[in-house]
Amino acid sequence: MEDHLSHAEMGEIVRDGFKVVIAGAPNAGKSSLMNWFAQRDVAIVTDIAGTTRDVLHVDINLNGYLVKLYDTAGLRDTVDIVEQEGIKRAQMALTNADLVLFLADMGSALPVDPADLERASSHVIVGTKCDLYPSVDSYDLQISTMTGEGLPELRDYVSSFIERKFGGLSLSVPTRGRHKDSLSKCLSALSAAIDQAEQSLEIRAESLRLAGDHLGRITGRVDVEDLLGVIFSEFCIGK
């Protein structure tokens, strides 16, 4: 049970989806990459900087895993109030992401702002438009959405990253908050029954009964008292 609870956060990711954020400066190719992953035109692609003002989202299936892919506003200094709000939301997305793909035009002088890198706990720096520039070593990966070069490798990287993240997990990890709560209470009751040797057998047996009740809330064993307790606690019932 302790092992299952230690993977509870991963269980929530399995249920809700693995968050992958595409970030970078304006015109770095973020929207084009988003459309390539989604295999449809989700984001507007133009040569005008600052086209994306909000966080766009699409769900994709990547080797059986639910991946939530986010396209964000270009990260730069601007006086446009609307774009500033979009950049603020983009920076918030970096903090909440499970993986950030930092895109950088290979012709730019500064690939990624170090302050943005610090916001993302897990990230990879991807050089874009590699069909226009010679290959360099300052990027983890190099792609071109125009020719398709490097895109399969990027997809494989994201897929392998997710598999490493979930490596070794059993299918019985708790995926819901109530499962985690019931397992925690069950474990606490079991510890009380096993560790408190100075208590009488009656008290320790009661702890075991409580542990069974908490486990039953996960397995589906619900008695009449539990059902009545839920009804009268959540609904207003008269005579």
- The DSSP secondary-structure symbol of 221 reads -
The C-alpha atoms of residue 189 and residue 193 are separated, in whole angstroms, by 6
β-strands 99-105, 123-128 pairing: parallel
| pLDDT tens digit sequence for 144-155 | 999 999 999 999
Q: Which residue, among 120, 68, 125, has the nearest Cα to 90 in the 3D structure?
A: 120
Q: What is this structure's pTM?
A: 0.64
pLDDT of the residue at 119: 81
pLDDT of the residue at 172: 56
The C-alpha atoms of residue 61 and residue 231 are separated, in whole angstroms, by 39
| pLDDT tens digit sequence for 217-234 | 877 775 656 667 777 777
Which top CATH class is 2-9+16-165? alpha beta
The C-alpha atoms of residue 20 and residue 154 are separated, in whole angstroms, by 12
Encoded tokens for 130: 């590699």
Are 20 and 67 in contact by the 8 Å Cβ rule? The answer is yes
| pLDDT tens digit sequence for 9-30 | 666 666 678 899 999 888 888 8
- For 18: left if phi > 0, alpha if psi spans -120 to 50, otherwise beta; the answer is beta
**What are the domain boundaries of the chain?**
2-9+16-165, 177-234
Share of the chain above pLDDT 70, in %: 82
- The DSSP secondary-structure symbol of 109 reads S
Name the most confidently modeled range: 46-60, 103-117, 127-141, 221-235.
Answer: 127-141
Handedness of CA 153, 155, 160, 165 (dihedral sign): positive
| pLDDT band at 167; cut points 50, 70, 90 | low
Name 66's bridge partners: 61
Residue identified by tokens 């006086």 is 79
- For 62: left if phi > 0, alpha if psi spans -120 to 50, otherwise beta; the answer is beta
